[in-house]
A and B are shown apart, each in its own frame.
Chain A
Amino acid sequence: MSFIIDILIIGLIVNIVIIAAIVIALLSFKYHLAITVISEYKYNNNQLLLSELLFYNYDLYKNIYMILSERESIDFDKFKTFIEEKTKIFLGDKEFKITNETTTLVGNESVKGREGYVYIFRPYEYGMVEKIVLVTS
């Protein structure tokens, strides 16, 4: 009889230990998942910002999309200040650059950090499609 009670007590203790270990593991799991989700959504904001920035109008003919797209055919330096000003509306004092993966088009060349990209159409003679990346510190 005493032996059976011993077995029952041991079984009870082992069960409590197993449940405690699983609960601790699950609590820890939930905490980490929430942190990672927040981080990922911050990353994607750059792409959303870039997609809105491109359609910001300069005048009736040009928006930032067309300025970047036709930069070889226009005085691009004249428009760089405009693009920087409009980007700062979204980013504040945060450092940034807009690149085509090989050349920095606007902003601080040394900036490294979060990236968001889209594809833009370009004139036929300049390769038709180009990947444009917004990098923020």
Chain B
Amino acid sequence: MRLYGGILVFVVIIFCGLLFMGYLLNIVFHKYLTFQELAREGEIYSISNIINVVERSLGYALFFSYRQAMKELGYKNFSQIQDLQSFTSNVSRIFSEYRKKLEEVSGIKVPNGDIKISSQDNITIEITFTSPQLITYSYKGSTYSFTIFGNPNTSISFIEENGNYTQLKSVVEEINKVLTKLVS
């Protein structure tokens, strides 16, 4: 009986010890795994939202680039532009600064591409940006890494009258749309 009494005390001590160890392990694993999983999910979800806003607003960056080029070259309206090719190069240069700035502050890379500016009546102006590559955001951590893609193809149209701009309409082109939001 004494032997069983001793064993019982021993087992109770082991039980309490294992329970406490299980509790500690639970805390350690729970914190580590939960943090890792949520960090990954949260980061992907968050960047996907941000890229979505960039896709929808890239046309505004084109518009601001156009307006800055007009200001730098001293034009007041589209009809004053004599060399459209040279003017487009200026818009491309300024748009590249926007792309670099975005990458600098957010890590989102908008690819290089072609800009076309056109107007049928010198009042309604349309600017399009096309690129065979995709917007990308890459994350590389010690435990996981991922890349999210977005669609850079966009166009914006607006009416320019006496230096005022109205009826801005930004459209995310549907080309390559199927490739957006791919997570690898």
Please measure, in the bound complex, the distance between the C-alpha atom of A37 and the C-alpha atom of B39, giving whole angstroms: 11
Contact B101 A128 (CB under 8 A): yes
A18 / chain B contacts, CB cutoff of 8 Å: 18
Report B163-176 CB contacts with A as 1/0, cut-off 8 Å.
Answer: 00111100000000
For B102, list chain A residues within 8 Å (CB): 119, 121, 128-129
User: Which of the segments A22-30, A77-85, A90-98, A104-112 contacts the partner chain?
Assistant: A22-30
Nearest to A60 among chain B residues (CB) is: B167
Residue from B23, B45, B53 in contact with A118 in the complex, judged by beta carbons closer than 8 Å: B53
| A10 touching B11 in the complex, CB below 8 Å, given contacts A24-B22, A122-B64, A128-B98 | yes
Q: Assuming A29-B29, A44-B42, is B22 touching A21 (CB within 8 A)?
A: yes
Interface presence of B182 (CB below 8 A)? no
Bound CA span A44–B50, Å: 11
Indicate if the CB atoms of B168 and A129 lie closer than 8 Å.
Answer: no
Contacts A25-B23, A65-B60, A128-B98 known; A120 to B53 CB distance under 8 Å?
A: yes
A selection of 6 A-B contacts at a CB cut-off of 8 Å is A21-B22, A24-B22, A40-B38, A51-B49, A119-B108, A128-B97
B41 close to A (CB within 8 Å) = yes
**Which chain A residues border B34 with CB–CB below 8 Å?**
32-33, 36
By a CB distance below 8 angstroms, the chain A residues around B60 are: 65-66, 69, 121
CA distance A16 to B184 in the complex (A): 43
Q: Which residue of chain B has the shortest Cβ distance to A55 in the bound complex?
A: B56
Complex Cα distance, B167 from A33, in Å, reads 49
**In the assembly, what is the distance between CA of A32 and CA of B21, in Å?**
17
Query: In whole angstroms, what is the CA distance A124 to B25 when docked?
Result: 54
Q: Contact check, B45 vs A17: say whether CB atoms are below 8 A apart.
A: no
